Amino acid sequence: MARCRILLIGTLLGGSLAVLQAAPIPLEGTKNTRDLGGMPVTGGRLRSGCLFRSGALCFISGTDQDRLGQLQLRSVIDLRTPEEIAKDGADRLAGPSYHWPMRSYHGLGAESYRSMLLQNPLVLRKFFAHLAQRESYPVLFHCSAGKDRAGIMAALLLDSLGCPREAIMDDYLQSQRNSPTLRVEREWLQEVFDLVDLAGGSRAFLTIQGVPAGQLEAIGNYLIETEP
């Protein structure tokens, strides 16, 4: 199973956080694929080779298919809408796939993030229920560019597992480092943090959306490893 190289991009100075950046997985057809392994969470860090986020896989090459095959994925979650799939094509990767469209019903930027977070409870329930099953892993989830919907889902998961928000924000901004033409703004993801905090935190927010606390515990039990 592939292991993602982790790069230290921060230092511990005066109690500030040392942020870990997951190195991107080089592909020809999409530039925003990476392993979330190594992200710091309560009790340790996420296991490498288990959870990947990405842009759409509809443009990947044969070489990319071989590279992704090495990850031994057991499930691919596509968050694109049917309209996006009709326009750009289905994923070009064999194996179990799940299509759970995550829509923005109005607005742009932070307003769009608010819409996606609050108006897709069924997608949230399906996503976290899937991650709570050991047989689902390794999992890759993606949207179109791999920055907005994938970024929201990654932020919710990481925050619920106790990942420092500086690290979550840095992972979100990595989309632009991976592909400089992509636009990502701190205030867009901050809207997600502000909304979940109004509910009492990400775990309380997910409970309100219908995600049982037991599923979050199961996800943590499988994904978190203690520091060596």
DSSP 24: B
Dig out the tokens for 117 from the structure: 């977070």
pLDDT of 23: 64
pLDDT above 70 coverage of the chain, percent: 89
The beta-carbon contacts of 18-21 under 8 Å, at least 24 apart in sequence, are: 19/166, 19/167, 19/170, 20/45, 20/167, 21/170, 21/171, 21/174
Max CA pair span of the chain: 51
Site of tokens 């409870």? 121
pLDDT at 158 over 50: yes
Per-residue pLDDT tens for 73-130? 999 999 999 999 999 999 999 889 999 999 999 999 999 999 999 999 999 999 999 9
Per domain, the residue ranges of the chain are 24-222
Contact 202, 152 (CB under 8 A): no
Residue ranges of alpha helices (H) inside 73-227 are 82-88, 109-118, 121-131, 149-160, 165-178, 186-198, 202-208, 213-223
Q: What is the pLDDT of residues 179-191, one digit of tens each?
A: 999 999 999 999 9
Other residues' Cβ atoms within 10 Å of the Cβ of residue 55: 24
Asked whether the predicted pLDDT for residue 11 surpasses 90, the reply is: no
Query: What phi and psi values does residue 64 have, to the nearest 5 degrees?
Result: -60, -40
φ, ψ of residue 196 in degrees (nearest 5): -70, -30
Domain 24-222 in CATH: superfamily?
Protein tyrosine phosphatase superfamily (3.90.190.10)
For residue 214, the SS3 value is: helix
